[in-house]
Structure 1
Amino acid sequence: MNTKTQSVKHQNKTFQTKGFSLVEILVVIAIIGILAGISGIALMKWLPEANLKRAARTIVSMCQDARVEAIKRNQRINFNCDNVTNTCVVSFTNGTALRQFDLSTIGSGVHLSNSLNTTFSSRGRALNAGTIPIANNAASTLSITVRTSGSIITN
């Protein structure tokens, strides 16, 4: 009998995996979680300070609006910040409000520490000078000073 030996040739095939392994995905999720935790802590520290600055910018803007309206209309315009109601109002001398801002809507416990009532003359001068202190829950404070010249300074 003739026996022929047949050789079986194996082709070396390299199998390529497509996609990610479970371990790789878990490592990426862990890294994302750590970064999110760190950024969340930083955001929680930054947010009260940003809200305080936002309130100060709005109040300064309202003071400037009251001054400009007084000059433009050639009449007295009132600017009142009340720490009891935690609001600032720009109004005509008859009480009609032009603009109102409630600090309670900002969040982070932003509140007025003191009240200020002043009137801007038709020449843009403030009849009563004073300072409006603003504070938040993080014990940060800013002060807005209205001078008799009509200029407004933030400290």
Structure 2
Amino acid sequence: MKIKAPRLNHQHTRNQPKGFSLAELLVTLAVIAILAGISGTALMKWIPQANLKRAARTIVSMCQSARVEAIKRNAPVTFNCTDNSCEVRLADAPNTLLRQFNLSSLKGSVQLEADYATTFNSRGRATPTQTLDIKNSAEKILSVTIRTSGSIMTKATN
């Protein structure tokens, strides 16, 4: 005895509505709006910290670049930070700008706590050694320390 599979009645499927109802769309949009609001708030808290880290990484990179240039050129290279701007220049030719970074270019208010200046000699050693503090709008501080050996260290102080 053969059993035949029942045929689907296509009349029932034709009368069913296709797509989403207005209520389903509104609920979906409400959920998306709530998630966007929560993630937007978290993002706004994260941006100042990200800008602070970016500023510190750029300053460390500039110091490393100044050290390498001093060794490569066999001449002293200065690294100066004043008025929220950092520059790398040849010590013997101060009009020669090798690299520059303005902290004001960052959207979050990141600023230097004090002026800073050091010189890398032809062996890559730095004098004087100091600590450069960078502060963001959330009052968080990152310190960049250039040691006499020319090594560079960052540390969160807040």
Q: TM-score, normalised by structure 1?
A: 0.89
Higher alpha-carbon Rg: 1
Alignment deviations for residues 29-49 of structure 1 (CA, whole Å, 9 cap, x no partner): 000000000000010010100
1:146 Cα offset (Å)? 0.6
**Structure 1 residue matching 2:127: 3-state secondary structure:** coil
Counterpart residue number, 2:85? 87
Counterpart residue number, 1:64? 64
Identity of aligned residues (%): 59
- In structure 1, runs of 5+ residues without a counterpart are 1-10
- In structure 2, runs of 5+ residues without a counterpart are 1-8
Alignment deviations for residues 28-77 of structure 1 (CA, whole Å, 9 cap, x no partner): 00000000000000100101000000000000000000000000110000
Task: Map residues 1-155 of structure 1 onto 2, 5 A cutoff.
Answer: 13-14=11-12, 15-82=15-82, 85-93=83-91, 94-95=93-94, 96-155=96-155
Alignment deviations for residues 79-132 of structure 1 (CA, whole Å, 9 cap, x no partner): 0011xx200000011211100000000121100001111100000000210000
Whichever residue aligns with residue 86 of structure 2, its letter is C
Separation in 2 of the partners of 1:12 and 1:55? 66
Q: CA RMSD in A?
A: 1.3
Q: TM-score, normalised by structure 2?
A: 0.88
Whichever residue aligns with residue 85 of structure 2, its letter is T
- Give the ranges of 4+ consecutive aligned residues of structure 1 lying more than 2 Å apart after TM superposition: 11-14
Whichever residue aligns with residue 20 of structure 1, its letter is F
